[in-house]
Each structure stands twice: as C-alpha cells, then as structure tokens.
Chains A and B, each alone.
Chain A
Amino acid sequence: GAGVSQSPSNKVTEKGKDVELRCDPISGHTALYWYRQSLGQGLEFLIYFQGNSAPDKSGLPSDRFSAERTGGSVSTLTIQRTQQEDSAVYLCASSLVRDHTDTQYFGPGTRLTVL
C-alpha cells in the first residue's frame, strides 16, 4: 500500500515568513510523529499525535512551531516567522500502535531552506 507522503518535497522561504508542511500518514495508522533532521543536531522529535488524545508537544523548540492533525489523518506542521536556524529536513512518521512493535514508518521529508 501507499507509504507516508509529505509535501512539498522542498521549500525555500525568506526569513520571517510562515510555512506549512503537510504529512499524509499510512492509511489506518493512528499515531503520527514529526521529527527534524539538521546538520549538527541529528534527528530530533518535535510532536506526536495519537488518536483523539492531546498531542505530545514536548519536542517543539519554540512557540513559533505548531501542528495539527485533522480528522485523525493528515497533519500540518506550521512554522511562523521562520528563522535561518529552522533550515532542516522535516520528517513525518506514522505507526500502527496496535502492532506490538509499533514501528514508525517515515515519509520522504520536506527540505526547508530559510534564506
């Protein structure tokens, strides 16, 4: 079946602008995660959605970052007033929590460049 999809694949923006990144998880997966991969910082967790529960926002680096998940499926990560340090690859993953391994499957990522 279809894997996790993300759009856009690349985004170039100017400092101070807002950006929206989209993630479409694997059908039937109840959990959705956002991570960020940047040089020098490795892969860092941002936010986690599970069903109708309140999201775990503990990884968001500042209040300029927010995310929502509509209808338990598609998620949008929004970065307001982008800064150059926000430049990174943003990865989305989803998992079927009922599966005892709860393996996370990743999308291809969105490469964000803030000029």
Chain B
Amino acid sequence: AQKITQTQPGMFVQEKEAVTLDCTYDTSDPSYGLFWYKQPSSGEMIFLIYQGSYDQQNATEGRYSLNFQKARKSANLVISASQLGDSAMYFCAMRELTRQLTFGSGTQLTVLP
C-alpha cells in the first residue's frame, strides 16, 4: 500500500485565488511528521510547512496552511492568494520512526495569470 498518496497529478489555479493540494497518508506509528516541499523547475526542494502528529492546531506559514485531519489521515496543503511564482511541483512527505522521508508522487501546480 502507498504510504503517501497525492491523487492530483496536475492542478491549475487562477492568480490570487486559493488552491488545495490533497495528501493522504498511511502509518501505524503514533508519532510521525508530515511535510510539504516545493520543487520549482530549477530542481531544488524547498521546505514549506511541517505538521506533527501530536500537534493540536493546523500549521501555518505565511500563505501556506496545512489542513490536518488526523482521523481521515489527510494533510492537505492550502495556498492562499496564489502567485505566478507558486507554479511548481509540490510533494507531500511523511517521517515515521525510521526518520527517512517517504514522498508522494507530487502535484504539478500551474498558476494562470
């Protein structure tokens, strides 16, 4: 079974609109971390936001927020007020007790002017 599932291979959003990128995960570890990374066409992996399994509140970092629904095992990324520079591949990842990250297949986001 996939540990991290991103069901949207591609998404389009109009500039200044909000967009939600979906991520579901599967783990039996009680303690885990969920991460979102952005990978522009230049190739670098840029850390965006972190959510711990015991965190009571949804994480926020500027225009990024994480909609964490633990019972549903989902960790969707919400980008508010999209900008052209947000066009990139977005990866959801999970860290369990083993410490290495397991990545989803990614969502290619295109922001339209």
**Could you list which residues of chain A lie within 8 angstroms of chain B, going by C-beta atoms?**
31, 33, 35, 42-43, 45, 48, 50, 56, 58-59, 89, 91, 93, 100-109, 111
Contact = CB atoms under 8 A, between A and B. Distances in A.
Given A42-B106, A100-B52, A101-B50, A33 B44 contact: no
Interface in B39-66: 43-47, 50, 52
Contacts of B33: 101-102
Given A45-B100, A50-B99, A103 B47 contact: yes
B43 A109 contact: yes
B50 A103 contact: yes
A33 B52 contact: no
Interface of B: 33, 35, 37, 43-47, 50, 52, 91, 93, 95, 98-106
A109 B40 CA distance: 13
Contact of A106 (B45, B104, B106): B45
Contact of B103 (A42, A105, A107): A42
Contacts of A101: 33, 50, 52
A101 B101 CA distance: 12
Contact of A102 (B45, B99, B104): B99
Given A45-B101, A101-B50, A109 B106 contact: no
Given A43-B91, A45-B100, 9 more contacts: A42-B103, A48-B99, A93-B45, A101-B50, A102-B95, A102-B99, A103-B50, A106-B44, A108-B44
